[in-house]
């Protein structure tokens, strides 16, 4: 039943409702019982299981872990709820968690809306090329400018989109350790810088959230690096934690990984020197949030340019080849 965990959209709404209920003075058990009356069957079952454990005196974070062995509730939520319960700041933690999930959803929506138009252009371009192949087939093989029939063309299109899907899934699940290639990807002008900025924005948001909840520096850094869902950053968590254990600062822990830009390290150092890490990192998160939005627009622009260039080159090549085929037929007719 719990093979698929809670979505980010549901996590945002859940945290918002729980925080609002706490603010109104409703106790935790009643809030969970109310949650068990709404939503999908999977969500109802999860909340019923949590409520049952709360009645037995189990802390909420422990109950969330026990539901489907921790596979339903996001790990970040479980850890933050544990810290909120320990420090007595569960209401504030849940509210900030809701803001965190809303922010990530907004960034994803912005990216998807941005690439929607380029993808429509790509599909339109593929359709135009397919139409050109169909027309040349109807005119006869001597006018076939592409050298493919419709079956062959559709096979190539399927392989093309299948390859894109395979790359996306490989990145998502770090197949064959492909995240190690991000060190090279981040060096690509414009696109690489944009991807790195988006990752740094996630780190800032999560680090600010964790420190503000009262979480210790070691767990905060580990959680922040893991929030990128990118092994290029997450694999450096042990190095960063070892630096903190040996008495190093946050800045030194990030610097020890060797993957953060100097500007980012400077911002973190200033935040530490101010003596208000969580608040200053929150301001830093806002800065990188704006940069991430700009970076998303840059990525969309790059994708649009690549798609336009590819479609234009293909169409021009087809038109030129069709023209050469027509002229060749006329030339042969004149020689006869």
**Per residue, what are the HEC states of 296-334?**
HHHHHHHHHHHHHHHHHHHHHHHHHHHHHHHHHHHHHHH
Give me the pLDDT at residue 179, please.
Answer: 83
pLDDT per residue as tens digits for the range 248-291 = 999 999 999 999 999 999 988 988 887 666 777 778 888 888 88
pLDDT at 187: 85
The answer to whether residues 203 and 236 touch, using CB atoms and an 8 Å cutoff, is no
Instruction: Tell whether 157 and 207 lie within a shared domain.
Output: yes
51 and 187 co-located in one domain: no
Please check whether residue 156 is in contact with residue 133, taking contact to mean a CB–CB distance below 8 angstroms: no
CA neighbor of 3 nearest in space, from 36, 34, 45, 39: 45
Is it the case that residue 78 has pLDDT exceeding 70? yes
Tokens of 180: 């190690």
Q: Has residue 82 been placed in a domain? A: no
pLDDT at res. 329? 58
- Same domain for 66 and 195, yes or no, is no
Q: CA 142, CA 184: separation in Å to the nearest integer?
A: 46
Q: Identify the band that residue 163 occupies on the pLDDT scale cut at 50, 70 and 90.
A: very high
Query: What whole-number distance in Å separates Cα of residue 297 and Cα of residue 288?
Result: 14
Long-range contacts of 69-78 (CB under 8 A, 24+ apart): 71/2, 71/3, 71/5, 72/2, 72/5, 72/6, 72/42, 72/46, 73/5, 73/6, 73/11, 73/46, 74/5, 74/6, 74/8, 74/11, 75/226, 76/100, 76/206, 76/223, 76/227, 77/6, 77/11, 77/15
Residue 73 pLDDT grade (very low, low, confident, very high; cuts 50, 70, 90): very high
In the structure, what pLDDT confidence band is assigned to residue 164 with cuts at 50, 70 and 90? Answer: confident
Looking at the chain, the whole-number percentage of residues with pLDDT higher than 70 is 91
CA distance 250 to 312: 49
For residue 180, what pLDDT is reported?
81
Residue 86 lies in a domain: no
Query: Are 127 and 55 members of one domain?
Result: no
What is the mean predicted confidence (pLDDT) over 203-207? 87
Same domain, 41 and 109: no
- Considering the domain architecture, whether residues 56 and 126 belong to the same structural domain is answered as no
Cβ-based neighbours of 330, under 8 Å, separated by 6 or more: none
> Within a domain: residue 269?
yes
Domain range for 267 is 91-336
311 and 221 in a single domain? The answer is yes
Going from the C-alpha of 241 to that of each of 209, 222, 235, 238, 254, the distances in angstroms are: 18, 7, 11, 5, 9
Of 31-40, 67-76, 110-119, the range with the highest mean pLDDT is 31-40
Residue 60 lies in a domain: yes
Residues 249, 284: one domain?
yes
Give CA–CA dist 208/206, Å, rounded: 5
Q: For position 331, what pLDDT does the model report? A: 64
Does pLDDT of 117 surpass 70?
Answer: yes
State the Cα–Cα distance between residues 146 and 104, nearest whole angstrom. Answer: 44
Look at residues 73, 108, 130 and tell me which one is the last residue of a structural domain: 73
**Residue 143, pLDDT score:** 54
pLDDT at 233 over 90: yes
Concatenating the DSSP letter of every residue in 254-307 gives: HHHHT-S-HHHHHHHHHHHHTT-HHHHHHHHHHHHHHHHHHHHHHHHHHHHHHH
20 and 137 share a domain? no
pLDDT at residue 162, as a whole number: 93
- DSSP secondary structure code for residue 70 in this structure: G
Closest CA to 115 of 191, 31, 199: 191
Residue 183 has pLDDT above 90, yes or no: no
Q: Are 135 and 280 found together in one domain?
A: yes
In a domain, 287, yes or no: yes
pLDDT at 57 over 70: yes
- Asked if the structure places residue 105 within a domain, the reply is yes
Q: Which of 43, 73, 103 is the last residue of a domain?
A: 73
Average confidence score pLDDT of the chain: 85
Among 41-45, 63-67, 227-231, the minimum mean pLDDT is found in: 227-231
pLDDT at residue 129, as a whole number: 80
pTM of the predicted structure, to 2 decimals: 0.75
Give the residue, 184 or 319, on which the prediction is more confident.
184
Question: Within this chain, do residues 102 and 192 fall inside the same structural domain, yes or no?
Answer: yes
320, pLDDT greater than 80: no
DSSP 82: H
Arithmetic mean of pLDDT, 117-134: 82
| Domains identified in the chain, total number | 2
58 and 130 fall within a common domain: no
Instruction: Tell whether 20 is covered by a domain.
Output: yes
Joined together, the tokens standing for residue 248 give 């190093």
Q: Is residue 254 part of a domain?
A: yes
Categorise residue 39: left if φ over 0, alpha if ψ from -120 to 50, beta otherwise: left
Q: Tokens for 145?
A: 């400018």
Of the spans 54-63, 84-93, 99-108, which averages the highest pLDDT?
Answer: 54-63
Higher pLDDT, 286 or 57: 57
What value does the mean pLDDT take over residues 12-33? 94
CA dist., res. 14 & res. 21, Å (int): 11
């Amino acid at each position: 039943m719990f093979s698929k965990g809670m979505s980010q959209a549901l996590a945002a709404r859940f945290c918002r409702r729980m925080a609002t209920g706490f603010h109104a003075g409703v106790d935790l058990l009643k809030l969970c019982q109310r949650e068990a009356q709404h939503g999908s069957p999977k969500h109802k079952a999860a909340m019923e299981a949590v409520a049952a454990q709360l009645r037995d005196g189990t802390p909420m974070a422990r109950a969330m872990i026990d539901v489907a062995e921790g596979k339903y509730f996001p790990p970040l939520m479980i850890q933050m709820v544990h810290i909120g319960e320990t420090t007595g700041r569960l209401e504030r933690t849940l509210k900030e968690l809701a803001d965190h999930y809303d922010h990530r959803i907004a960034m994803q929506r912005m990216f998807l809306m941005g690439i929607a138009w380029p993808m429509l252009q790509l599909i339109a371009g593929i359709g135009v090329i397919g139409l050109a192949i169909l027309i040349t087939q109807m005119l006869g093989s001597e006018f076939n400018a592409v050298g493919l029939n419709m079956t062959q063309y559709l096979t190539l299109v399927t392989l093309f989109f299948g390859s894109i899907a395979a790359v996306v899934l490989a990145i998502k699940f770090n197949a064959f350790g492909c995240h190690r290639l991000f060190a090279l990807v981040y060096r690509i002008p414009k696109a690489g810088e944009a991807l790195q900025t988006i990752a740094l924005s996630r780190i800032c948001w999560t680090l600010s959230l964790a420190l503000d909840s009262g979480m210790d520096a070691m767990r905060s850094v580990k959680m922040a690096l893991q929030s990128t869902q990118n092994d290029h950053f997450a694999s450096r968590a042990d190095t960063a934690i070892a630096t903190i254990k040996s008495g190093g600062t946050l800045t030194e822990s990030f610097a020890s990984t060797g993957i953060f830009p100097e500007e980012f390290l400077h911002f973190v150092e200033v935040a530490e020197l101010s003596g208000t890490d969580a608040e200053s990192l929150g301001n830093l998160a806002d800065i990188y949030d704006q940069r991430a939005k700009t970076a998303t627009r840059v990525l969309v622009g790059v994708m649009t340019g690549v798609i336009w260039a590819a479609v234009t080159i293909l169409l021009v090549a087809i038109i030129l080849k069709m023209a050469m085929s027509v002229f060749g037929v006329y030339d042969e007719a004149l020689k006869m």
